[in-house]
Structures are given as structure tokens and as C-alpha cells.
Amino acid sequence: MYIAMAERIKVLLIEDSAGDAFLVIHELKAGNFNPFWKRVHTADAFQDQLNSCEWDIIVADYYLPGFDAPKALEILKEKQLDIPFIVVSGVIGEQVAVEIMKSGAHDYLMKGNLTRLSEAVRREVREAQLRKQHQQAELTIKLQLTAIDAAIDGISIVKNDAYLYANPSFLRLFGYSYTEELIGKDWRVIYSPEDIIRFRQEVFPQLERHLAWQGEAIGKRKDGSSFVQGISLTLADDNLMICVCRDISELKKAQDIIAYNAFHDPLTNLANRELFLNRLTLAINKHRRNKNYQYAVLFLDLDRFKAINDSLGHCFGDQLLIDISKILKKHTRNVDLVARLGGDEFVVLLEEIRGTEYIVNIIERVFDNFQSPFQIEGHDIVVTLSIGIALGNKNYFEAADLLRDSDIAMYKAKQEAHNSYQFFDTNMHFQAQRQCSLEKDFRHALKNKEFVLHYQPIFDIAEYRLVGFEALVRWQHPMLGLIPPDEFIPLAEETGLVILLDCWVMMNACQQLALWRKRFPNFSDIKMSINLSPEDLRWNSLIKEIDNTLAYNNLEGDSIIFEITESILVKDVEKTINLLSQMTSRNIQISIDDFGAGYSSLNYLHRLPVDIIKIDRSFIQNIQGEKSNNEVVKTILSLCKRLNLTTIAEGIERPLQLQELKDMGCKLGQGHLFSKPMINRDIETKFLASSIKTKIV
């Protein structure tokens, strides 16, 4: 037989009779209670017990001397205690019984019949517990509602597609002043039509599957304005949805700015390298999928930008870059992408192109804008541009390769002329590779004594007499063989190493000259022509170096001639005149090399301390027999005669040219017709050892 464990219960008895109290306890025990109990019979004692213990039930006699049940109930009410209260009384009239129930007692029983007591106690205790739980739940709900009302996030409940509840933040977020404006309205009133469709097609199916969804949407305020909101939706029931949302416009803006900055150049607002490479990668892939899709990369670089920046200031340079970015934008379409890689380097990705004419068209329109000077801060500045083009083809896999090839083509364009463009071809790639390795090797070449001098004889044309040599340097590269100076002099000039190279040339050419003068007395008055770069002329210690070299070799200044190009004369006339004067005061002769080829310094030729004019090879090669072609040479010759300058014709290849030059009165000549440049031993056997006067014509 199963005997239920006696139920523990704390009973407070209000009873003056110990015997009656015993009966009550006895009855409870019989009803399977295990009571802990106290008996009081005064109001004070009752209060004390209420304060000291949490009672489950109070069983009270109705009348006691100086105390009674209604009084006890009053005390409970005062103390706001909800403890089940059962009256057990000897005699009690119906009237009293009703009264006592009204004042809060939960039940009453006759002392003579306590059989119902346990059942009543059990019931009342349970109900009190339920009452307590209910109160607790109500309190919790009240607190939660207060919290929801106070939340910063907007919170709403939608039932059957209509707003059932919205907290103050929700109303504020969507521009409603009071609850009634929104409650009862359809949920769609606060969304854009696009979002409503998206909710139907994407969001709600997910919400139904997972009961929750988080994302973003455009919120529509009551006044029609909109904002980006972050939303979290929860499905509480089939037709009950809880929506929590907040305005994330600022956050989005900040995110957008960060994302924009990561892919744009802050100065010009153009795309940066990162974005360009991304887009170019897409283009490469697109071309690989669809051969009809053609694209090209233009690499644009300003000529002399560093000089502009240095002389006119960075603000000026910045403004120029901004103006140029606008020109590039103007001449490209929306599908194209213009980017600035940094400095004065711009790139353009041309998409969907049809043939190269289209590209040339764009380039010519861009060059048109560079015809007239840029006007910045009251300055008129002529800017020129070099452009390299790489056409997309199936051999390209990497964006960086296209960028590299367009850069190589640009470099080539820069060497040709100002405002010119070049399409990339694979030959350029090999040239660039060669250039790159030359650059690396050049530094070691001086140390490793890899340079050699060749000498080209110079003749007096009328007398067929050898008057001197021009020293021409070559690089005996251990792997690539003999490299002509045109390939490495520009590189040496760029790196500044040309100064070291030319010092070496000067020293060796002077040593050779001194040796030949001594060994071959017939030629004791021959001179050595030595080429100088513009870089050399900018070097502060040049004169000191010349003095040392001459002294070391026991040579006078009149034994050497320096050949300088016209370009240096145009740049800084005063400084150049000063430097050249220092040379001529040492009886060193100055020769203007490649005369007529580039700039024209005819205007101030008379001001310069110059002795010799070396007419550029191109004019000499134009001498074909028809006299009319010789006008330029004639003009130069007559000008030099007037200014008392000696003339040399360089690049004489054919007897006819020599004859005509002789007829025109050109004093000196040099060229393959006399001899190619050669090493010292060959010069000795061919020209010095035999004291012949070489008869050419």
C-alpha cells in the first residue's frame, strides 16, 4: 500500500483554548499533514508571529478574550499579507459567517465538525500559491512592458498584417506622434514598394522556415522621407510578428565612406590601383569567356611633372592632377574606368571597344586638350603627356601584366616625342627586360672595368689631315656583349652614374692622347673630343676634375675638346656661360654636338663661349646630290663663318657628301667614310703608325 508522505505545513493558530488547538492539529495530522505550528491569542502575539515566520495558513477561533478573527483579518490586510485564513468556531450565526467571508476569510468550519478541515486547508494553500504565481507573472509582464516602452530600438507587434503595438521609439523612428496613428494600420505603410516585394519573395519564406530573420530595409517615415533600417523579425505565432528595428543610416554612411576610400584616390576622386586591378581582372575574365568583348589599358604619364611640382609647388601640382583627371573623365564613357595609380600616373580601362581607331580617337581628343596651356593660379603652363596602350588578348591572365605592358609602351612613347602614344608589342617587353637588367648591372660595370673606349678619327676635309679623335664609350657586358652607348647613357643619366662614367672616360681618353702624342711625334698636335652629359655640367666639381685629369696626364687645356648638346644651353644660359668660360679660359675648346637636331640656340650662339659647331648627322645624310637639299647645311656654315666658329660634319658616309661639304667650305669631318670608331690598337695601325695622309677622295 502506498502511503503518501505527510505534507509539511506551517500553521498559525489563533486560539485561547489549548484543547481546541490540539483538536485542529490532530485533525490536520489525520489529513496527512505534518504541521509546524504556533498558537497565539492576542493581537500582539499574532503580529509577532507574522513578522517572524512565513505562514502557510492561519486557523482562527472567532471569539477570543480581547481578540477576534475580524481583527486578525484587519491586521493581515494592513500588512498586505495574502495568507489563507480559515475560521473555526463553536457557534457562529449565518450573518457573522457572511461578514467574516466578506472581510477576507477564505472558509469557516464548526468546531464540532472538523472533518472538512484538511481538505479546506489543502485547497486554500494551493489557491494562495496560484494567486502568488499569478501576481508574480503580472509583475514580470509589467516590468517587461516598461522595458519595451523605454527601449531605444523601435519595437512593434504585427497581428494579421496590422500593427497591434508599437513602442515610443518605433513611433518616433517612423515619424508618428501617438500610438493611434499607427495601430491598426497595415505593416506595409512603413516600407517602400521594392521592399514589400522583397519581403514577400525572400524574407517571409525564410521567416517561416527559421521563425526569425535579420537584415536591412528602407524605412519610410510618415512624411515620406526614408532611411536605412536594421531589422530583426520574429514569428511568435502564425499571424503574430515581432519587429525590432533601428536607424542605421549613419552607420551605413560611415561604412560607405570607408569602402569608398579603400578604392578611390582622395585627391582626384578617381578609382585607385586596387579598384582598377579588380575591374581589369573582370575584363580579362570576360574576354576569356567572350572573344568579341575587347578591352585595352591606357597608361598615361605626364612629362616633366616632377619639375612642375618642384618649381611651382605641390598645391599647383595637385590642381594640375585634378584638371587632368577631369579631362580623362570627359573623354571616356561610363563603361570605362579612369584611375590614378599615384604621382602623375593615370590609367584608363577601355571596355567594349571596336578596333584600335576607337582608342586612337580618344587619345587624340585627350591630346587636343593638352595643346593649349593649363591655367592654374594665374600661371599658363604647357603640359605634355605620354601614353602607352596594351590591348587585351588571350595571353593575358593577370591584371598586373597588362599594367606592366602598357607602362613599357608608355616609356617607349616618352622616348619618342612629347604628346605621343605607343601600342605595346612583345619586342618592347624584351627591350624593357634588357633595360631592367642593364640597370642592375650598370652599377657593377664601373667597378668591374667593363667599359672600353673606341676612337673615331676627325679629319680636316680640305687638307685630308687627321686632326684628332672623338672618344666614344662602349660597355663590354659579360653576358650581352658590346652594348652601344645609346642604350646605357640615358640610364646612366637617370641614375646620376653618368658623372662617374664620364670621369672615367675623360681620364682614359686623356691618357691615351698623351701616350699617342708621345709615341707618334707626327701627331703631337692631335686633339681628343670628349662627350659631356648635361648631368656633368650640373656637377659642382667638374672643373676641379678636369684640372686634375689634365695635370695628371701632363696635358694642356688646348689638347681637348668637350662636346655638349644644345639642350643644356637652353636650360640655364647664365650658369652655362659661366661654366663654359671657365673651360675656355683654360684653352679647352667647346663643341656644340648634334647641332640643329633639337632646340635651336642660333639666337644666343654669339653670346656663348663656343668654338666648334658639329652639324648633326641627319643633315649630312640628307646630302644626296641635289643641291637644294643642302640649304640647312649651307645656312649653318655661313652663320658659323660669320661668328668665326669652326664646323665639323658628323656622319659622313659617302664620298659625295664629303665632296659637297668640302665645296661648301666645311672645315672638319668625321664618319664611316673615314673610319668607324675603333679600339686604340686598330687606330694605331691604321692611322698613327703609318704617317700617311689618308686619301679618301
Interface ranges with ligand C2E (CB under 6 A): 456, 472-473, 484-486, 489, 498, 502, 505, 531-533, 563, 593-594, 650-653, 670-672, 677
User: Rounded to the nearest 5°, which phi and psi values hold at 227?
Assistant: -155, 160
Instruction: Show contacts with Ca ion in window 646-665 (CB under 5 A).
Output: 650
**458 is in the binding site of which of ligand C2E, Ca ion, none (Cβ under 5 to 8 A by kind)?**
none
Q: Which does 502 bind (CB under 5 to 8 A by kind): ligand C2E, Ca ion, none?
A: ligand C2E
List of residues 6+ apart from 451 with CB closer than 8 A:
445, 473, 474, 475, 476, 501, 504, 505
The binder of 535, among ligand C2E, Ca ion, none, by C-beta within 5 to 8 A per type, is none
Site membership for Ca ion, residue 566 (CB under 5 A): no
Q: Which helix (H) or strand (E) holds 363?
A: helix 355-369
Smallest separation, CB 692 to ligand C2E (Å)? 21
How would you write 203-227 as a 3-class SS string?
Answer: HHHHHHHHCEEEEEEEEECCCCCEE
Task: Please give the Cα distance from 36 to 25 (Å, whole number).
Answer: 9
Strands 162-166, 154-159: parallel, antiparallel or unpaired by DSSP? Answer: antiparallel
Which of the listed partners (Ca ion, ligand C2E, none) does 651 bind, with a CB threshold of 5 to 8 Å by partner kind?
A: ligand C2E
Least Å distance, CB 593 to ligand C2E, is 5
Least distance to Ca ion, CB of residue 489, Å: 11
107 binds, among ligand C2E, Ca ion, none (CB under 5 to 8 A by kind): none
Could you tell which of Ca ion, ligand C2E, none binds residue 238, using a CB distance below 5 to 8 A set by kind?
A: none
Supply the minimum distance, in Å, between the C-beta of residue 649 and Ca ion: 10
Contacted entry of ligand C2E, Ca ion, none for residue 217, CB cut-off 5 to 8 Å set by kind: none
Q: Which does 623 bind (CB under 5 to 8 A by kind): Ca ion, ligand C2E, none?
A: none
Smallest gap, in angstroms, from Cβ of residue 296 to ligand C2E? 35
CB nearer to ligand C2E: pick between 468 and 671? 671
Instruction: Name the binder of 472 from Ca ion, ligand C2E, none, CB < 5-8 A by kind.
Output: ligand C2E
| Residue with smaller CB distance to ligand C2E, 9 or 673 | 673
Alpha carbons 518 and 691: distance in angstroms, whole number: 14
Residues found in the chain: 697
Can you tell me which of 563, 566, 611, 660 binds Ca ion, judged by CB under 5 A?
563
> Contact 488/497 with Cβ under 8 angstroms?
no
Contacts of 87 (CB under 8 A, 6+ apart): 60, 61, 62, 69, 100, 105, 107, 108, 109
Task: For Ca ion, give the closer residue by CB, 233 or 613.
Answer: 613
Q: For ligand C2E, which is the closer residue by CB, 24 or 498? A: 498
Sort 47 into a burial class: Cβ within 10 Å, 0-12 / 13-18 / 19+.
Answer: middle
Cell numbers at residue 469, please?
Answer: 679623335
> Three-state DSSP class for 274?
helix
CA 244 to chain centre: 37
- Please, what is the minimum distance in Å from the beta carbon of residue 407 to ligand C2E? 25
Query: What residues are paired with 488 via a beta bridge?
Result: none
Identify the residue among 593, 601, 623, 664 touching Ca ion (CB under 5 A). Answer: 593
* 249 half-sphere exposure, CB direction, 13 A CA radius: 9
Q: Angle at CA 618, nearest 5°, toward 612 and 621?
A: 105
Asked if residue 422 binds Ca ion (CB under 5 A), the reply is no
Min dist CB 597 to Ca ion, Å, is 8
**C-alpha to C-alpha distance for 694 and 686, rounded to whole angstroms:** 9
- Dist. CA 432–CA 415, nearest whole Å: 13
**Cα diameter, the chain:** 168
Q: Are 513 and 560 in contact (CB under 8 A)?
A: yes
| Cell numbers linked to 211 | 521563425
Look at residues 5, 31, 7, 56 and name the one whose alpha carbon lies nearest to residue 116.
Answer: 31
Which listed option, Ca ion, ligand C2E, none, makes contact with residue 332 (CB within 5 to 8 Å by class)?
none
660 binds, options Ca ion, ligand C2E, none, Cβ within 5 to 8 A by partner type: none
Minimum distance, C-beta of residue 683 to ligand C2E, in the bound complex (Å): 14
Q: Does 594 bind Ca ion (CB under 5 A)?
A: yes
Distance from chain centroid for Cα 14: 87
Residue 669, contacted partner among ligand C2E, Ca ion, none, CB below 5-8 A by kind: none
Considering only the stretches 43-51, 453-461, 590-598, 664-672, report the one whose residues sit in contact with Ca ion under the rule CB under 5 A. Answer: 590-598
Calculate the alpha carbon distances from 306 to 104, 316, 318, 379 in Å.
99, 12, 12, 17
Stretch that binds Ca ion, among 94-102, 199-207, 487-495, 643-651 (CB under 5 A): 643-651
Other CB atoms within a 10 A radius of the CB of residue 120 amount to 20
Give the per-residue contact string, 523-552, with Ca ion (x = CB under 5 A; - = no): --------x---------------------
Q: How far apart are CB 417 and Ca ion at their closest, in Å?
A: 19
Rg (alpha carbons) of the chain, rounded to whole number: 53
Minimum distance from CB of 440 to ligand C2E (Å)? Answer: 21
CB of 647 to ligand C2E, least distance (A): 15
Q: How far is the CB of 535 from ligand C2E (least distance, A)?
A: 8
**DSSP code, position 685:** I
Of 15 and 650, which has the nearer Cβ to ligand C2E?
Answer: 650
Say if CB 86 and CB 19 are below 8 A apart: no
- Rank residues 223 and 486 by Cβ distance to ligand C2E and give the closer one: 486
Which one, 70 or 485, has the nearer CB to Ca ion?
A: 485
**Where along the sequence are the contacts to Ca ion (CB under 5 A)?**
531, 563, 593-594, 650
